[in-house]
Structure 1
Amino acid sequence: MLRRLDLRADPLPRPAVLRGMVPRAELDVDGAIAAVRPIVDGVRERGLEAAMEATERFDKVRPATVRVPASALAEALDGLDPDVRVALETSIDRARTVHEAQRREDVVTQVVPGGTVTERFVPVRRVGLYAPGGLAVYPSSVIMNVVPAQAAGVESLVVVSPPQAEFGGRPHPTVLAAAALLGVDEVWAVGGAQGVALLAYGATDTDGSDLEPVDVVTGPGNVYLTAAKRIVRGTVGIDAEAGTTEIAILADAGADPVHVASDLISQAEHDPNAASVLVTTSDELAAAVEVELERQVSATKHTERIRTALSGPQSGVILVASIHDGIAVVDAYAAEHLEIQTADARADAARVRNAGAIFIGPYAPVSLGDYCAGSNHVLPTGGCARHSGGLSTSTFLRGVHVVEYTEDALREVSDRVVALANAEDLPAHGQAVTARFGGAT
């Protein structure tokens, strides 16, 4: 089922070459932009009507209003399965514990006597948080977006999620219930590129109320959502250009093939284009995992979707000569989710540089992080973990430098400011300093 790449015979290629060799999901954002740009431009130019046209086309429903009534949020929470409610509350509590610990305190640095630079951490004012629809329901993504925004002190937030024809043009009730549990009172029934465009440009709802634009858009979605985020970037901030989910597992001969197979399957369940990659030193483990995949995939609910993902070019087994080489491979891959199932998993994990999130040992599966670890599951994909991190409280904070100097402190450094200004042929910069001490202007 899984393709094989054997890297044991020769020294490993350099990282740039390795990045081109490892299995990778295709994410043609440039191609999607051609399809998405008319939608985004239409919302920018014509507002709600263009958004509703796209919604009817793609979601087969036209909501009476974009903003979901407060009564619908309360109704969804009242009708929530008690077991699901307890699970969501657990997820929220653990996520709050982690994300509230990420709050930043202002840092005041005395550079010289009389001269200070303070870095203030200021939350963005209003954010739009996307919870996907499609092949699954994602109340967990509501939690992963809302909790860090609230921990950062964001003043105003709106959750957007695609309308569902079977639920009267509103988002899935479990998504609405999760929003209600979090104290969110603004939810929009809109998805896809049109949802991103509405967040960026705003509009007037059918009842005359204001759909206020936001400052930052976050949340995962498909390639069309990612293309829309790229188009509006600059008008608003975005968290990342997220692609299809991916898992890499670094494992040695001691790993349990049942665990490894089930974890590869868990991410393949998301999407036929999801990527599941095993990096191992053991032929025996690779063979045992293949046997387990056949057994478990046949017995699971979404067999066809999972089999397609595991059989695709984005998934595979990579055989390496040593754990040292395995770490080099997973660093080159820079997985969204990386599991370490080796004899010295904690030490091996400490040597990894590039991953969205790392899960150590046999009792920290990725699905724990998806729901109840306390970590965030909105993570960089497609190798972006080499330079970007996942969603966190810091995503919603801006560092602002506040400079305060006394007259004596400025006078002491004035000649160096003038020297640098003249070196850059910007004499007025220097004159802006000397003018304060009776110098020529």
Structure 2
Amino acid sequence: MAATEIAQSRRVVTEIPGPKSLELQKRRRAAVAQGVGSTLPVYVTRAGGGIVEDIDGNALIDFGSGIAVTNVGNADRRVVERATEQLGRFTHTCFMINPYESYVEVCEALNRITPGDHEKRSILLNSGAEAVENAVKIARSATGRQAVVVFDHAYHGRTNLTMGLTAKNMPYKQGFGPFAGEIYRMPMAYAYRWPTGPDNCGPEAAAMVVEQITKQIGADNVAAVVIEPIQGEGGFIEPAPGFLPAVVEFCRANGIVFVADEVQTGFARTGHMFACEHEGIVPDLIVTAKGIAGGLPLSAVTGRAELMDAVHGGGLGGTYGGNPAACAAALGSLEAIESDGLVQRAREIGDLMLGRLREMADRYEIIGDVRGRGAMVAIELVTGQDKEPNPEALAKILAHCHARGLILLSAGTYGNVIRMLPPLAIGDELLHEGLDILAEAFEQI
């Protein structure tokens, strides 16, 4: 039976983790560096649709999608068939030595589907962090400037440069410095926690950003502004309305490259193909990864032709960037997104989940905020009306849900956000069942 034919029903037959997973966990401790963590150490044997099966025979509801990677569902037929066929022909040549058509096809597709009707170019890489780092390289090369502006609560990766771009110290930066220089951090338009209230957040935050860049850095020194259109690890923070357009306008007026980091938000996740489309933003460069290839490692930078072509020959690339099997998988994933109407499906998932979660917020005082777009939604937990973060409640809720067979993830600068990223292939019945388990958890605490 193929992974995509897995019965779409939850099944808990042992404690979670079960005995076989616990045995593998012992082997892992002896073999794998302890710095590599796992949210829920159940060892997976198959996955498909909205279900993940483990080695003990449990079937868990998937509200994580491998952190927004398996948007089209795990082991989607089109992804598997294309990647398998490619593996039978050749596994690697290095595109910089002997190129191949699928790399070109993926770049053509990205140039077509990313926002804006300007002439574009793309490059393919391996990870989101690698793509962010290359976007900064391109911006610096094209502008002749060095400074990079990022934001509070941002997450951009684990390389040295992208750790510097990332806001959260623990666990991402602690003990790993010194970091790259010429990085400047600005306030984020975090509506729920804005001191003067959510209605003032967008314009006030934008004005602060413009003032600080102008006075502290000098706009003429800024190569790029890098921002997630919805912040991921930071807690699914949606910039307050008007903030992104104002920042883009400032960038355009001052020759600054606006980089949209859509690693977590891209490929139908938010109810648009890309999250920046919600406010009509057309980035100069857009960074993608995660959902691009249905689970195979691939990332990309796509942008204005004049910027992308400003880098000297040989200045971009990497041994594995645009691996042929990953390119084939990406073409299958894009086919699934477009032919299965997954942009619209993400909106339907969002309507269902946000409706249920807002009902819970009306009942439970510890839910301070419910937010999100499409199939990228979150709950921020607080102690009460003072909005004090409540990571203790988060730990209890996750423990209950994991034990009941629901995969949930945490997020947030303060460690108090439940983030939900179900596969777009999940059915409504599993969504409701997962939300029922979450409601049980709130009732218990």
Same fold (TM over 0.5): no
More helix, by proportion? 1
TM-score normalized by the length of structure 1: 0.28
TM-score normalized by the length of structure 2: 0.28
User: Which has the greater radius of gyration?
Assistant: 1
